[in-house]
Structure 1
Amino acid sequence: MKKIVVACGSGVATSTAVNSKIKDLLDSNGFAGTYHIVQCAIAEAPSQCADADLLVATTVPPADLKCDFVSGLPFLTGMGRADAEKKIVEIISK
Protein backbone atom coordinates (compact mmCIF):
# COMPACT_ATOMS: atom_id res chain seq x y z
CA MET A 1 0.00 0.00 0.00
CA LYS A 2 1.47 3.33 -1.07
CA LYS A 3 1.18 6.27 1.31
CA ILE A 4 0.64 9.71 -0.19
CA VAL A 5 0.74 12.83 1.96
CA VAL A 6 -1.16 15.86 0.66
CA ALA A 7 -0.32 19.10 2.46
CA CYS A 8 -1.10 22.79 2.38
CA GLY A 9 -0.62 25.64 4.82
CA SER A 10 -3.44 24.62 7.15
CA GLY A 11 -4.21 21.07 5.98
CA VAL A 12 -7.77 22.02 5.09
CA ALA A 13 -8.46 24.15 2.03
CA THR A 14 -6.24 23.60 -0.99
CA SER A 15 -5.09 20.17 0.15
CA THR A 16 -8.72 19.00 0.03
CA ALA A 17 -9.03 20.05 -3.62
CA VAL A 18 -5.70 18.42 -4.53
CA ASN A 19 -6.57 15.26 -2.59
CA SER A 20 -9.74 14.80 -4.65
CA LYS A 21 -7.91 15.29 -7.95
CA ILE A 22 -5.16 12.82 -6.99
CA LYS A 23 -7.76 10.20 -6.07
CA ASP A 24 -9.48 10.67 -9.44
CA LEU A 25 -6.12 10.45 -11.25
CA LEU A 26 -4.98 7.28 -9.50
CA ASP A 27 -8.34 5.51 -9.63
CA SER A 28 -8.67 6.23 -13.36
CA ASN A 29 -5.19 4.77 -13.89
CA GLY A 30 -6.00 1.48 -12.15
CA PHE A 31 -4.53 2.18 -8.70
CA ALA A 32 -7.78 2.02 -6.69
CA GLY A 33 -7.16 0.15 -3.45
CA THR A 34 -3.37 0.35 -3.71
CA TYR A 35 -2.80 3.65 -1.93
CA HIS A 36 -4.02 5.75 0.96
CA ILE A 37 -3.86 9.52 1.30
CA VAL A 38 -3.09 11.43 4.48
CA GLN A 39 -4.02 15.10 4.44
CA CYS A 40 -2.17 17.50 6.76
CA ALA A 41 -0.69 20.95 7.32
CA ILE A 42 2.77 21.45 5.84
CA ALA A 43 4.19 21.72 9.38
CA GLU A 44 3.16 18.08 9.94
CA ALA A 45 4.64 16.88 6.64
CA PRO A 46 8.09 15.83 7.89
CA SER A 47 6.64 13.42 10.45
CA GLN A 48 3.88 12.20 8.10
CA CYS A 49 6.44 11.63 5.31
CA ALA A 50 8.73 9.46 7.44
CA ASP A 51 7.00 6.35 6.05
CA ALA A 52 5.40 7.88 2.94
CA ASP A 53 6.13 7.34 -0.73
CA LEU A 54 5.10 10.80 -1.91
CA LEU A 55 4.36 14.31 -0.69
CA VAL A 56 2.12 16.53 -2.81
CA ALA A 57 2.05 20.03 -1.35
CA THR A 58 0.71 23.41 -2.40
CA THR A 59 3.57 25.08 -0.51
CA VAL A 60 7.36 24.80 -0.52
CA PRO A 61 8.41 21.32 0.66
CA PRO A 62 10.24 20.95 3.98
CA ALA A 63 14.04 20.85 3.72
CA ASP A 64 14.34 17.53 5.56
CA LEU A 65 11.89 15.63 3.37
CA LYS A 66 12.39 11.84 3.23
CA CYS A 67 10.09 10.99 0.31
CA ASP A 68 9.46 12.04 -3.28
CA PHE A 69 7.83 15.45 -3.81
CA VAL A 70 5.43 16.75 -6.45
CA SER A 71 4.06 20.29 -6.38
CA GLY A 72 0.29 20.43 -5.92
CA LEU A 73 0.00 23.87 -7.53
CA PRO A 74 -0.64 22.46 -11.04
CA PHE A 75 -3.82 20.84 -9.68
CA LEU A 76 -5.04 24.29 -8.66
CA THR A 77 -3.85 26.37 -11.62
CA GLY A 78 -3.93 23.82 -14.43
CA MET A 79 -0.46 24.91 -15.58
CA GLY A 80 1.88 21.92 -15.70
CA ARG A 81 -0.82 19.53 -14.53
CA ALA A 82 -0.06 16.83 -17.12
CA ASP A 83 3.58 16.71 -16.00
CA ALA A 84 2.60 16.56 -12.32
CA GLU A 85 0.12 13.77 -13.03
CA LYS A 86 2.72 11.81 -15.00
CA LYS A 87 5.24 12.12 -12.16
CA ILE A 88 2.69 10.96 -9.55
CA VAL A 89 1.74 7.92 -11.63
CA GLU A 90 5.44 7.06 -12.11
CA ILE A 91 6.14 7.30 -8.37
CA ILE A 92 3.10 5.21 -7.41
CA SER A 93 4.02 2.63 -10.06
CA LYS A 94 7.38 1.90 -8.39
Structure 2
Amino acid sequence: MLEFLSRVFGRESTGSKNVAKERLRLVLVHDRANISPELLSSLKNDLIKVISNYMEIDEQALEVSLDSNDQQVALVANIPVKSMKRAKSLA
Protein backbone atom coordinates (compact mmCIF):
# COMPACT_ATOMS: atom_id res chain seq x y z
CA MET A 1 0.00 0.00 0.00
CA LEU A 2 2.81 2.36 0.89
CA GLU A 3 4.53 1.60 -2.41
CA PHE A 4 1.33 2.47 -4.30
CA LEU A 5 0.96 5.80 -2.50
CA SER A 6 4.60 6.61 -3.11
CA ARG A 7 4.15 6.00 -6.83
CA VAL A 8 0.95 8.04 -6.96
CA PHE A 9 2.58 11.03 -5.30
CA GLY A 10 5.76 10.74 -7.34
CA ARG A 11 8.17 9.96 -4.54
CA GLU A 12 9.47 6.79 -6.13
CA SER A 13 10.99 6.67 -9.56
CA THR A 14 10.66 3.65 -11.81
CA GLY A 15 14.37 3.57 -12.57
CA SER A 16 16.46 0.44 -12.86
CA LYS A 17 17.87 1.04 -9.37
CA ASN A 18 14.43 0.59 -7.80
CA VAL A 19 13.62 -2.41 -9.98
CA ALA A 20 16.87 -4.07 -8.91
CA LYS A 21 16.16 -3.31 -5.24
CA GLU A 22 12.69 -4.84 -5.52
CA ARG A 23 14.04 -7.99 -7.19
CA LEU A 24 16.70 -8.34 -4.51
CA ARG A 25 14.07 -7.89 -1.79
CA LEU A 26 11.97 -10.68 -3.33
CA VAL A 27 14.98 -13.00 -3.53
CA LEU A 28 15.79 -12.35 0.14
CA VAL A 29 12.20 -12.93 1.22
CA HIS A 30 12.10 -16.24 -0.66
CA ASP A 31 15.38 -17.29 0.94
CA ARG A 32 14.18 -16.41 4.44
CA ALA A 33 10.93 -18.28 3.93
CA ASN A 34 12.74 -21.32 2.48
CA ILE A 35 10.29 -21.44 -0.43
CA SER A 36 11.54 -22.36 -3.85
CA PRO A 37 10.26 -20.57 -6.96
CA GLU A 38 8.70 -23.90 -8.02
CA LEU A 39 6.74 -24.14 -4.78
CA LEU A 40 5.54 -20.54 -5.13
CA SER A 41 4.45 -21.29 -8.71
CA SER A 42 2.59 -24.39 -7.53
CA LEU A 43 0.90 -22.36 -4.80
CA LYS A 44 -0.16 -19.77 -7.39
CA ASN A 45 -1.67 -22.50 -9.60
CA ASP A 46 -3.57 -23.98 -6.64
CA LEU A 47 -4.92 -20.54 -5.72
CA ILE A 48 -6.14 -20.06 -9.29
CA LYS A 49 -7.96 -23.41 -9.20
CA VAL A 50 -9.71 -22.72 -5.90
CA ILE A 51 -10.65 -19.10 -6.51
CA SER A 52 -11.88 -19.91 -10.03
CA ASN A 53 -14.61 -22.03 -8.44
CA TYR A 54 -16.17 -18.84 -7.07
CA MET A 55 -15.02 -16.01 -9.34
CA GLU A 56 -13.87 -15.35 -12.85
CA ILE A 57 -10.37 -13.93 -12.44
CA ASP A 58 -7.72 -12.47 -14.73
CA GLU A 59 -5.10 -15.22 -14.42
CA GLN A 60 -2.55 -13.33 -16.51
CA ALA A 61 -2.60 -10.33 -14.15
CA LEU A 62 -2.62 -12.38 -10.93
CA GLU A 63 0.41 -11.68 -8.75
CA VAL A 64 1.54 -13.79 -5.80
CA SER A 65 4.54 -12.90 -3.69
CA LEU A 66 5.98 -13.19 -0.23
CA ASP A 67 6.62 -10.20 1.97
CA SER A 68 8.45 -10.22 5.27
CA ASN A 69 9.51 -8.16 8.20
CA ASP A 70 11.87 -9.19 10.97
CA GLN A 71 9.64 -11.86 12.52
CA GLN A 72 7.12 -13.09 9.96
CA VAL A 73 6.49 -13.82 6.31
CA ALA A 74 3.21 -12.93 4.61
CA LEU A 75 1.72 -14.29 1.41
CA VAL A 76 0.52 -11.36 -0.68
CA ALA A 77 -1.85 -12.00 -3.57
CA ASN A 78 -3.22 -9.44 -6.02
CA ILE A 79 -6.10 -11.20 -7.79
CA PRO A 80 -8.04 -9.15 -10.35
CA VAL A 81 -11.68 -10.30 -10.28
CA LYS A 82 -13.62 -10.04 -13.54
CA SER A 83 -16.94 -11.26 -12.16
CA MET A 84 -18.56 -13.41 -9.50
CA LYS A 85 -19.96 -16.81 -10.40
CA ARG A 86 -23.53 -17.65 -9.52
CA ALA A 87 -23.96 -19.78 -6.43
CA LYS A 88 -24.97 -23.37 -7.13
CA SER A 89 -28.07 -24.67 -5.41
CA LEU A 90 -27.37 -27.05 -2.57
CA ALA A 91 -29.55 -30.12 -3.01
TM-score above 0.5, yes or no: no
- With the length of structure 2 as denominator, give the TM-score of the two structures: 0.31
Kindly indicate whether structure 1 or structure 2 has the higher relative contact order, using CA contacts under 8 Å at least 6 residues apart.
1
The structure with the larger Rg is: 2
- With the length of structure 1 as denominator, give the TM-score of the two structures: 0.31
